[in-house]
Amino acid sequence: MGNSAALQWLESLQGSGIRPGLGRIRALLRSLGEPHRAYKSILVAGTNGKGSTSATLGSILNASAYRTGVYTSPHLVDLRERWMINGAPIDEELLEESIWTLQRAADHISITPTYFEALTVIAFIAFERAQCEVVVLEVGMGGRLDATNVVRPIAALIAPIGLDHTEFLGNTLRKIAAEKAGIIHRGATVLTSNSDPGVVAVLRRRAEKFGNPFHIVTGDEVGEIPLAGDFQRQNAALAARAAEELIPVLPRITAQSIERGVSTTQWRGRLERIDVAGKQVWVDGCHNAHAAVAIAPFVDTMLPGPRLLVFGIMSDKNVAAVTSTLFPLFHEVVTTEPFPPRSTNADVLAQLALGFDIPATAVRDPKEAVRRALQSRYRTVLVAGSLYLAGAAIEVLDAEREKKQR
């Protein structure tokens, strides 16, 4: 799309910030003829793992011969990744058309949506125009007041919940769970992979209020999975069990299509291994303490030493908790700033590494930081701390791989 006028309008909403509430998006959807009612919807919430779960469930639905839309965020390299239709990014023409449709509606009723609200309405418009039968929507932040929560889902999935966005969602797991539980509506099959008793109690209470089926899923319910890390087994199991429970509503789903869908799931930047320049490079968008704790055992046991970490993180995260979990697993750290000015200062991060007696170098530009890692003596590299950093790394690593293949 380059720098089209449609894209410029969408990008102009970037500074709109977070404004919780469903009034604006409901008004926009009314003026558009309620496109989000044109297909069956599934909501996926959680602190971590909701993107992987959404991708896996979308893959299962594709394998079951349903015309499927999957809406996730953020994108890693190309904006079009946020709207997948039958396993492929939205085509440029449909995206541009959907943006213009939204802009006309916004102008007509004099409402300026937030950036995330705009992305969500674009999903609803595009999936209707693509004649999707089923749509999987990754919830943004929380659940109750998230822009995706205007649908009446056939299923509500809640991936693992941790302490994140506490300034908006509350400072305890129970309070955050109550916000996530807002995606549970009457008639939805409810599934969660959470095991914390307090969290489960909050979710169960909301499901029981509507008389909805409620299932707790463990990671033992799937065989081989293509994504690395034990926690990904849990996410795949959540998606697979949801598909199983939805067979009465979506009868084309079979045991075979579930297995095929799980085994062919692609989800970049989540413990993704890219072998390049004689190195084993792993990329993971672990962007909070909960995610860091989840990947640490994998790093410790599966990544051969000595290891180099390329690290950058947003300043609104629990930086101390993430760095104290990850830094001691590495012999050297390159710190960077994936999304200034919201990133934590690279020099500050380097000082934290030195506090663990780990040599550290600050390289502000994320792509340059990844290139520095490729030129280092280390044969094992992890790039982690932010999905923005994961996206920058994938661009560099893919280009490097293509160069070698020419």
pLDDT in tens, 354-369: 999 999 999 999 999 9
Which residues of 58-212 form beta strands (DSSP E)?
68-71, 83-85, 88-89, 134-138, 155-158, 189-192
The secondary structure element, H or E, covering residue 280 is strand 279-284
Give the H or E element holding residue 332. Answer: strand 332-335
pLDDT value at residue 166 = 52
pLDDT > 80? residue 221: no
Q: Angle at which helices 197-209 and 173-180 pack, to 10 degrees?
A: 30
Residue 1 has pLDDT above 80, yes or no: no
CA angle 305, 364, 315 (to 5 degrees): 90
Residue 64 · residue 262 · CB < 8 Å: no
Q: Is the dihedral of CA 301, 302, 307, 310 positive or negative?
A: negative
Residue ranges of the alpha helices (H) in 39-170?
50-63, 92-108, 115-129, 166-169
What is the tens place of the pLDDT at every residue in 76-130? 989 999 999 999 999 999 999 999 999 999 999 999 999 999 999 999 999 999 9
Q: How far apart are CA 70 and CA 406, in angstroms?
A: 33
CA dihedral 123, 125, 126, 130 (to 10 degrees): 130
* CATH number of this structure's domain 8-263: 3.40.1190.10
pLDDT at 254 > cutoff 90: yes
3-state SS of the chain: helix, strand, coil percent to 5? 50, 15, 35
CA 405 distance to own-chain centroid: 30
Question: pLDDT confidence of 165, banded at 50, 70, 90?
Answer: low
Please report the pLDDT score of residue 2 as a whole number. 59
Handedness of CA 184, 186, 188, 193 (dihedral sign): positive
Length of the chain (residues): 406
In the predicted structure, residue 173 carries a pLDDT above the cut 90: no
Per domain, the residue ranges of the chain are: 8-263, 272-405
Number of C-alpha atoms within 13 angstroms, CB side, residue 284? 26
Element (H, E) at 311: strand 307-311
CA 43 to CA 198: how far, in whole Å? 22
Backbone angles phi, psi at 382, to 5 degrees: -115, 130
Tell me what pLDDT residue 74 has. 87
Task: State how far the Cα of 32 lies from the Cα of 28, in Å rounded to an integer.
Answer: 6
Helix (H, G, I), strand (E, B) or coil at 18: coil
146-173 mean pLDDT? 84
Residues facing residue 100 across a β-bridge = none
Q: Regarding the domain delimited by 272-405, which CATH topology (the fold level of the hierarchy) does it fall under? A: Protein-Tyrosine Phosphatase; Chain A (3.90.190)
Q: What is the DSSP letter of 211?
A: T
Which pLDDT score is estimated for 220?
67
